[in-house]
């Protein structure tokens, strides 16, 4: 794996963790329905991003 590919996969994992963190934070807001939906979409995107990184590393 080239250096650029490894760097991009690392950036993808950092992004996935940030998406998951912010997604959980927004999903736990009880008074705002749109923020909860946005948070759940962020969590779903983080899961998809982690799956893509796993596929590319195998």
Q: What is the mean pLDDT of each run of 10 residues along the chain (58 residues)?
A: 90 96 91 89 96 93
Provide the pLDDT for residue 46: 96
The residue range of the domain holding 21 is 3-57
Provide the pLDDT for residue 51: 96
Spatial separation of the C-alpha atoms in residues 39 and 58, rounded to whole Å: 29
Residue corresponding to tokens 């982690």:
50
Provide the pLDDT for residue 25: 93
Total domains present in the chain: 1
Spatial separation of the C-alpha atoms in residues 42 and 22, rounded to whole Å: 8
Question: What is the DSSP code (8-state) at residue 44?
Answer: H
Provide the pLDDT for residue 9: 94
Q: 0.85 exceeded by the pTM?
A: yes
């Amino acid at each position: 794996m080239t250096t650029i590919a490894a760097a991009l996969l690392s950036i993808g994992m950092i992004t996935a963790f940030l998406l998951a963190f912010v997604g959980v934070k927004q999903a736990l807001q009880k008074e705002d329905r749109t923020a909860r939906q946005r948070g759940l979409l962020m969590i779903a995107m983080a899961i998809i991003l982690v799956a893509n990184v796993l596929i590319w590393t195998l």
